[in-house]
């Protein structure tokens, strides 16, 4: 396998932290980081619940 970079763009990114409080959730208090461009386009979200896929599956049915 050969991997070659085609182009590199330097962009400015905004990091926003949200504190989520949800008593019905297996993780009732957590901090989510959201990354977005200066234009407001969301390019990534880091949620601690993503590390627990089995919890996410069970929780999604209880909503």
Cα distances from 50 to residues 20, 24, 58, in angstroms, run 14, 17, 13
SS3 10: coil
**pLDDT tens across the length of the chain (63 residues):** 888 888 888 778 999 999 999 888 778 899 999 999 999 899 999 998 887 766 555 555 454
The total number of residues written for the chain in this structure? 63
The CA-based dihedral angle spanning residues 49, 47, 44, 5, taken in that order and rounded to the nearest 10 degrees: -70
pLDDT at 13: 92
pLDDT at 19: 94
């Amino acid at each position: 396998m050969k991997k070659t970079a085609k182009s590199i763009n330097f962009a400015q990114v905004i990091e926003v932290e949200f504190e989520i409080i949800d008593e019905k959730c297996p993780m009732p208090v957590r901090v989510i980081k959201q990354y977005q461009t200066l234009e407001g386009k969301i390019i990534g979200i880091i949620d601690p619940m993503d590390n627990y896929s089995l919890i996410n599956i069970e929780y999604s049915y209880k909503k």
